[in-house]
Chain A
Amino acid sequence: DAMVIQNPRYQVTQFGKPVTLSCSQTLNHNVMYWYQQKSSQAPKLLFHYYDKDFNNEADTPDNFQSRRPNTSFCFLDIRSPGLGDAAMYLCATSRPYSGTVPNQPQHFGDGTRLSIL
């Protein structure tokens, strides 16, 4: 089945130690998204790629970076994780959208739960 796959399901890292989360998709969607979801809160969009075009949300900290080497893969890099970065990180994909803001249904992966020691 076509899907969005996130690895690993659980990730533990140390305070200040860089960490990379990965996402792959078999849907061949043009758009890929990264969300941060803290406990009992709504997902918060960090950034998204429309093909190779990177779109950063205004309030996303500089500590968060992303790479999309090809259509299928997208990575979230946290350069110096702090305790406040412990969260579930969700990857999603969608078909192309018109206009400047994502408005297509999104397909989500199972998420990676990040813990900071």
Chain B
Amino acid sequence: AQKVTQAQTEISVVEKEDVTLDCVYETRDTTYYLFWYKQPPSGELVFLIRRNSFDEQNEISGRYSWNFQKSTSSFNFTITASQVVDSAVYFCALTGNQFYFGTGTSLTVIP
């Protein structure tokens, strides 16, 4: 069975705080891909990052960073010094034998 769990349904932080969004996945595939997407209130999903199962190197892009750990089946997303514009629903997704979105984490950044 394939599954993506985003246990945090809603998170609120004060602007400039750091925040980590958790993503835990299950798959029996040896080759798979993990994604993060952002869905702001306007509704359009925006691609943030893709990682394949053979690349556990962490990545940093500006205030965004991703921590991929196969040992714990996790692909967590950290926003440093959060801003109001970061307020959105964030989805983690997995591709193995099928494409599957997690249930999403709604992040609110309070000014």
Contacts and interface: CB of A to CB of B under 8 A. Distances in A.
A7 B104 CA distance: 25
Interface string B73-111: 000000000000000000100011111011110000000
Among B45, B52, B95, B103, chain A packs the most CB atoms within 10 A around the CB of: B45
A41 B44 contact: no
Q: Give chain B's interface residue range (CB within 8 Å of chain A).
A: 20 to 34
What is the predominant secondary structure among interface residues of chain A facing chain B? Answer: loop
Contact of B46 (A41, A99, A100, A108): A108
Given A42-B104, A101-B98, A108 B45 contact: yes
Contact of B91 (A43, A102, A107, A109): A43
Q: Which 8 A-B pairs have the closest CB atoms?
A: A42-B101, A108-B45, A105-B47, A103-B95, A103-B33, A111-B43, A110-B44, A102-B99
Interface of A: 41-45, 57, 88, 90, 92, 99-111
